[in-house]
Structure 1
Amino acid sequence: MSTMRTVKVDGESRYDISIGPGLIAEASLFAGVLRGKHALIVSDANVAPLYADRVEQTLRAARPALQVSRFVMPAGEQEKTLARFCECLDALASLCATRDAAVVALGGGVVGDLAGFAAACWMRGIDVVQVPTTLLAMVDSSVGGKTAVDVPAGKNLVGAFHPPRAVVADTTTLRTLPERELRAGLAEVVKYGAIFDVDFLTWLETNAAALLEGRDATLAEAIARSCLYKAEVVSRDPYEHGERALLNFGHTFGHAIEAEQGYSGAGSDALNHGEAVAVGMVLAARLSAATGRAPAADAQRLQALLQRLGLPTAIPAGLRPEALLERMRLDKKADASGLRFVLWERAGLAKLAAGVAEERVLDVLRAG
């Protein structure tokens, strides 16, 4: 465990993010956060065959009297539904899970979101331990306690804030990650440089090849730095009343694309979440330039980096700008005054912008 890195999330809910190789086999990381006698491992059909047995062995080593059960759902964003959420609750009921039980979310962002929401709702809130197995989940969805499911009207519209007891990010699980999913996770890594730290953006430009090759030390550095940025924001703004909204840079556009495509990104020609965010960040940067907030050269720099990382930067063919705008009107950042966007003044400095004219948004979407 000498190579393990720890990022501490402070504030109202305190927990550790542990990052390093082989961590799902470290019983000590789980022993201190399991409080009761019940644990439900929530995973999906892709991840469970690879890691669920190992995680269950580790949980039993941490707490020998622990009663462990599993809920394994089909893989894919299209499965992050109220129906699967109810099935997860049924699994907790079958386990007779008590108020001190724990849900162990083993998988990517879909599993983490759904499992966390189930933990938030079962008996009005039980513990969740996030064990992310994708780069995207390690640097984004597993940290901060935002949990949700999708509904036909939009992505993540039904959910709750429910911070984890711990996050255990085993970087060896990334070795089984498909190349497309690794690239998708890099989009969220780029986001942190785009909104907080231009020096990190430069570091990503310098290390793009190593990241794509999946070099352990480079990925671990990218994960740790990304988690540190997010931990600092979450500590100050746990319920997204202010600066935490900056973490949604590119997401207003990206979520609209995902919703309009029916959340069919995994294994299809449609964009997955990270790919949609990559496109969304480029559109947000262009909107920043179109409204006079930022230099157009910064948008071009961002686009070039994302393209080097093998990510899309254009709206998929067949998506109507007017339909995407309608999706944005249901975005969680929208309020009574209309659409709000996370835009930037330059690379490394983002701000929340209200009162952006819809015609300007349509112009950017039409230019796609």
Structure 2
Amino acid sequence: MKSVDINTKFKRYSVTIGEGASQLLPDVLHSRNVSTILIITDSNVAPLFLGQVKNLLNDFIVHEWVIPAGETSKSLREYEKIITHALKKKLDRKSVIIALGGGVVGDLAGFVASTLLRGVPFIQVPTTLLAHDSSVGGKVGVNHTIGKNLIGAFYQPEAVLYDLAFMTSLTPKEWRSGFAEILKVSFIRDKELFDYLNENVLRLPIENKTVLSYAVSKAIGIKGAIVQEDEHESGVRAYLNFGHTLGHAIEAESRYQNIAHGEAVMIGMLFAMRLSEKRYGKALIPKNIVPWIKSLGYSIWNPTLGRPELLLEKMRQDKKNRDQTIRMVLYNGFEQVALEKVSEHDLLHELNDFNVWSKNV
């Protein structure tokens, strides 16, 4: 087992990483005066792991709520259903919510916890590779039809138990979704991690548990350090959105179908690098990255790229924007990123160029 401490101004908690980490759940709960537990999970995870987790909690009163799997469940509609269920089950401020699932479950369950009775404790038990990112740092919330993650809060969990044994259930698409976020933090904070990944990750899924544990632990450690420095995204935490301005637009324009979050972010990072090359006047895309990520199963083109005006409209809704001006995380080399204003003229021009480039590279 590995442990990464997350320290913010108002909260300190640990992320425990390793096979069997979920077995520590009773110990974490017994250290609190818990009245009842509500497990929130989804229709993919429930048949695989819900019974296993409930068996660990025989000493507690446990309720459950299963949402339909998928990004569309990260909505005010599902949020209201869960709140109603929690109130009917008479959850109180000594109740604990457990988020058992990936990023959608964690974001939604955390938002429920942050608002139910003005705040109850919650624990993240991630089941996907992508959740290494979403389960740490306290960003919780839901999507709106206008854009992604526009409704939410900063609300830290009590603990994160990251059981790598759960990774065996993931599809190749889910592996790609999570690995893109690990690659992202290597660009913005740790070239050594990029070199390690480039040398050791030759296919997805990552079958070598040592490589997987190292990659996840490093990525969580980097994010934890950034969160400690800037809990509420008023400064450097915005750098974690590298690739997300276009990535979120692609997801929204795709109606969250057929492309996973990390797959869209991978395209978004390449787009940001191409835009940065023109702004800074030098080559910035690592020479081997395109053939490498293609060998891992990523597509660097998406049909939505053929609709640049619609993507630009989605990018206008990004939460990093100020004074109706689009701001993007641009890249000036490893560990050199900055949040910059980008004109809509430049964005539209690069979207058209990128559509052609990504089809042919």
TM-score range, shorter chain: over 0.9
Residue 287 (str. 1) matches residue 285 (str. 2): no
Q: Write the distance in 1 (CA, Å) between the matches of 2:270 and 2:230.
A: 26
TM-score by length of structure 1 reads 0.92
Residues 315 and 300 of structure 1, relative CA distance in 2, 3 Å threshold:
farther
Question: Which residue in 1 is equivalent to 2:5?
Answer: 8
Residues 310 and 124 of structure 1, relative CA distance in 2, 3 Å threshold:
same
- Secondary structure of the 2:85 match is helix
Q: Write the distance in 1 (CA, Å) between the matches of 2:331 and 2:45.
A: 37
- Secondary structure of the 1:311 match is coil
Question: Does structure 2 conserve the Cα–Cα contact (< 8 Å) formed by 1:210 and 1:218?
Answer: no
User: What amino acid is the match of 1:288?
Assistant: S
Residue 41 (str. 1) matches residue 39 (str. 2): yes
Write out per-residue CA displacement over residues 113-157 of structure 1, whole angstroms, 9 at most, x where no aligned residue: 11110111101111110011000002x100001011111111111
**56, 60, 64: which one pairs with 1:58?**
56
Residues 319 and 67 of structure 1, relative CA distance in 2, 3 Å threshold:
farther
**285, 306, 316: which one pairs with 2:293?**
306
Q: Displacement of 1:28 after TM fit?
A: 5.0
Question: Which residue in 2 is equivalent to 1:332?
Answer: 319
Residue 70 (str. 1) matches residue 68 (str. 2): no
**20, 23, 34: which one pairs with 2:21?**
23
* Number of equivalences: 353
Residue 365 (str. 1) matches residue 351 (str. 2): yes
TM-score by length of structure 2 reads 0.94
Q: Displacement of 1:308 after TM fit?
A: 3.2
Q: Displacement of 1:359 after TM fit?
A: 1.5
Question: Does structure 2 conserve the Cα–Cα contact (< 8 Å) formed by 1:134 and 1:181?
Answer: yes
Instruction: Calculate percent identity across the aligned residue pairs.
Output: 39
* Structure 2: runs of 5+ lacking an equivalent: 356-361
Q: Displacement of 1:26 after TM fit?
A: 2.6
Question: Which residue in 2 is equivalent to 1:267?
Answer: none
Question: Does structure 2 conserve the Cα–Cα contact (< 8 Å) formed by 1:208 and 1:308?
Answer: no
Q: Displacement of 1:211 after TM fit?
A: 5.4
Q: Write the distance in 2 (CA, Å) between the matches of 1:202 and 1:55.
A: 37
Q: Write the distance in 1 (CA, Å) between the matches of 2:238 and 2:206.
A: 31
Q: Write the distance in 1 (CA, Å) between the matches of 2:13 and 2:324.
A: 36
* Structure 1: runs of 5+ lacking an equivalent: 265-269
Q: Write the distance in 2 (CA, Å) between the matches of 1:47 and 1:218.
A: 24
Question: Does structure 1 conserve the Cα–Cα contact (< 8 Å) formed by 2:173 and 2:260?
Answer: no
Question: Which residue in 1 is equivalent to 2:215?
Answer: 222
Question: Does structure 2 conserve the Cα–Cα contact (< 8 Å) formed by 1:85 and 1:118?
Answer: yes
Q: Write the distance in 2 (CA, Å) between the matches of 1:361 and 1:199.
A: 31
Question: Does structure 2 conserve the Cα–Cα contact (< 8 Å) formed by 1:289 and 1:299?
Answer: no
Structure 1's consecutive aligned runs of 4 or more residues displaced over 3 angstroms after TM superposition are: 32-35, 210-213, 299-305
Residue 175 (str. 1) matches residue 168 (str. 2): yes
- Secondary structure of the 1:287 match is helix
Q: Displacement of 1:94 after TM fit?
A: 2.1
- Secondary structure of the 2:280 match is coil
Q: Write the distance in 1 (CA, Å) between the matches of 2:297 and 2:32.
A: 40
Q: How does 1:86-125 map to 2 (within 5 A)?
A: 86-125=80-119
Q: Displacement of 1:309 after TM fit?
A: 2.3
- Secondary structure of the 1:135 match is coil
Aligned-residue RMSD, C-alpha: 1.6
- Secondary structure of the 1:131 match is strand
Q: Which range is displaced more, 163-172 or 32-41?
A: 32-41
Q: Write the distance in 2 (CA, Å) between the matches of 1:25 and 1:8.
A: 19
Q: Displacement of 1:31 after TM fit?
A: 2.7
Question: Does structure 2 conserve the Cα–Cα contact (< 8 Å) formed by 1:34 and 1:102?
Answer: no
**202, 215, 218: which one pairs with 1:209?**
202
User: What amino acid is the match of 2:251?
Assistant: E
